[in-house]
Amino acid sequence: MEIRAYERGDLEALLSLFYDTVHGVNLGDYTAEQVNAWADGQPDRAAWARSLEEHFALVALLDGEIVGFGDIDETGYLDRLYVHRDFQGQGIATALCDRLEAHAGGGAVRVHASITALSFFLQRGYRLLRAQRVVRKGVALVNFSMEKPPAFAGHTYLFESLKWTATGMYFDAEGRAFPLRGESEIVRDGRIWRLNGFLDVCAENPLRFCNDYQIAETDAPDRFAWTSVNPALGALKGAFEIAGKAIFSHYVAENGLYSGQETLLFQDARTYENAGIAFCGGRRLSAWTAVLRAVDGA
């Protein structure tokens, strides 16, 4: 898939894709009368061209065919995001949205999401502000005002339902180094979500560490509390703290014996650098460095 900047010659293809998507995909959540009012086949071409040229606008192509597009303005308002009805579920909306959010530079991103797109934006960490009734050509439609707050605008880890792989090095208490690999999956649904996975250490006696986090929002927009039961360390309580491009995690075991911290540093929407350390009674138990990569296909 290729993603490039919008060009003036793309306009007719985008208008056609918009009409077909509304009538072929959104029709599942809206009535025929509503989609006809939303996309009546008689767009204001001058207004479309003007906004696409003024905004940061991108198109996605497969084998030279435009299969999706989106745009965001300089205030962080994500105006449009559409994927061809024949190419749904192939990661196109995710790839476009990654680039559009990155253009916001860490600022808040706002969107008016359709019923059809609501779950997509919730999984990306947007907060539902309110449902609203809009009128198009005398016909009422429902959409949702949503925002991705600036504390984690641009972050994908934690805030999107994604699978991740990890590769790197594990260091034991004596400082010996061993290759590691792991997998994790984040499933987000509203204010509470889960992260579960494993980490394999390729030592003389192979080790596998498993974790199952339950994560919840707190009153602070940049802090998320978590709990986990680790087979080796017992019940853990911790928090994720967001600071710019970094996600920090710290925890203490319920028995007070174990503690630790780790950092996840944003590289791009599909890559994070990870480093962490665990302590037992104040002495280093283990440490690790790894690169996390998202598994495409969302």
pLDDT tens digits along 203-225: 988 999 998 999 998 888 789 99
DSSP letter string, 50-99:
HHHHHSEEEEEEETTEEEEEEEE-TTSEEEEEEE-GGGTTSSHHHHHHHH
Two structure tokens written together for 38? 């939303």
Question: Is the pTM value of this prediction over 0.85?
Answer: no
Residue 114 has pLDDT above 50, yes or no: yes
Question: For the chain, which domains are there?
Answer: 2-148 (3.40.630.30), 163-294 (2.40.128.20)
Which tokens belong to 68? 């999706």
Residues 97-117 have a mean pLDDT of 92
pLDDT of residue 251 exceeding 80, the answer is: yes
pLDDT digits (tens, 9 = 90+) for 136-180: 999 999 999 999 987 676 788 988 889 999 999 999 999 999 999
Structure tokens, 93: 């909306």
Contact between 289 and 169 under an 8 Å Cβ cutoff? The reply is yes
Q: How confident is the model at residue 230 (pLDDT cuts 50, 70, 90)?
A: confident
